[in-house]
Amino acid sequence: DVKVTQSSRYLVKRTGEKVFLECVQDMDHENMFWYRQDPGLGLRLIYFSYDVKMKEKGDIPEGYSVSREKKERFSLILESASTNQTSMYLCASSPYSDPGQPQHFGDGTRLSIL
C-alpha cells in the first residue's frame, strides 16, 4: 500500500518566518504534489514535480517554493509566512506514466500563521 508521510500534523509559525513542510513517499512515484485545502475552495494545486529537480507551478504558487532533491521527498517552502497562508496542506504522489492513475494523499499538515 502506498504511503505518503507528511512530517507534521500541526504546525504553528509566526508571520515572516521561513517554513518548511516535508513529504515522503515510499512507492517510487515520479509525480509529487502540494495542495492547499480550504473550506469552500476545495483543493488548489500549489506546485507539482514530475522528476527530481523538476517542478511546475500550479494554480497558486505565489509565496511558495518547492524542492525535490530526491525522488521520494518533496518539500514545500514558505519563504516569508503570512497569515493568509494559514491552511491545511496536502501532499500527494502518483506514477507519471499513466494520468489515469490516482493520486495518493498524506494526512495533511494544518498550518497556522500567527
Partner 1 sequence: AQRVTQPEKLLSVFKGAPVELKCNYSYSGSPELFWYVQYSRQRLQLLLRHISRESIKGFTADLNKGETSFHLKKPFAQEEDSAMYYCALIYNFNKFYFGSGTKLNVKP
> Applying CB under 8 A, which part among 14-22, 66-74, 78-86, 103-111 lies near partner 1?
103-111
Tell whether residue 102 is a contact of partner 1 (CB under 8 A): yes
C-alpha cell at 21: 513542510
> Applying CB under 8 A, which part among 12-20, 42-50, 67-75, 77-85 lies near partner 1?
42-50
The contact pattern for partner 1, residues 45-84, with x = CB under 8 A and - = no contact, is x--x-x-----x-xx-------------------------
